[in-house]
Amino acid sequence: MGKILYLMGKSASGKDTIYKRLLEECKELFPVVLYTTRPMRDGEKQGVEYYFTTKEQLEDFGLSGKIIEQRIYQTVAGPWIYATVDDGSMGRNERDYLAIGTLESYKRMKNYFGESIVVPIYISVDDGVRLERALTREKLQKDPNYLEMCRRFLADEEDFSEEKLRECHIERIYRNEDLNGCIEEIKKSCFSHI
């Protein structure tokens, strides 16, 4: 099997934009699309950002042993489930993949596929910039959910603490102060692993 480049970072760090750009610019990468029960946001497409699904469908995957990792967020709109599913789209071939998720999901992917397969890419941005980006993005939604935006922002402080990053052996941090520069830095360092 090839490598799985695993992109992660706090909310509004730019990881979705970086993910899309890397897939556009690096044709040798194939996307790992997660499943989620959260509602589709304006502008999202089924099977592109996520496979938008039901709790029951995820339970069926779990009973079939196809759930690689799963997490549940208690949001102000109720529980949202995110999962990486071994649905056959990640073949055991020589292809290289690009995935996006959390530190917890990265650990589970690493345990499932092996440390030599999963390469971490941790994106970091100043908290003030992240908050501004999150607010701007939320304002564009048909029904802005500011409470959920704030919950995510605060939860990320714990989820991506320095201690947890050290426990996962995340040593390299890609600072997204300049999007193009950050993407070039990722390409230079990560594609030497592939």
pLDDT in tens, 14-71: 999 999 999 999 998 999 999 999 999 888 999 988 999 999 999 999 999 999 999 8
> Do residues 176 and 124 make contact, with C-beta atoms less than 8 angstroms apart?
yes
Residues facing 7 on adjacent strands: 100, 121
pTM value?
0.83
What values do phi and psi take at 92, rounded to 5? -90, 60
What values do phi and psi take at 151, rounded to 5? -60, -45
Torsion of CA 121, 167, 131, 147, to 10 degrees: 120
Exposure of 85 in the CB half-sphere (CA atoms within 13 A): 22
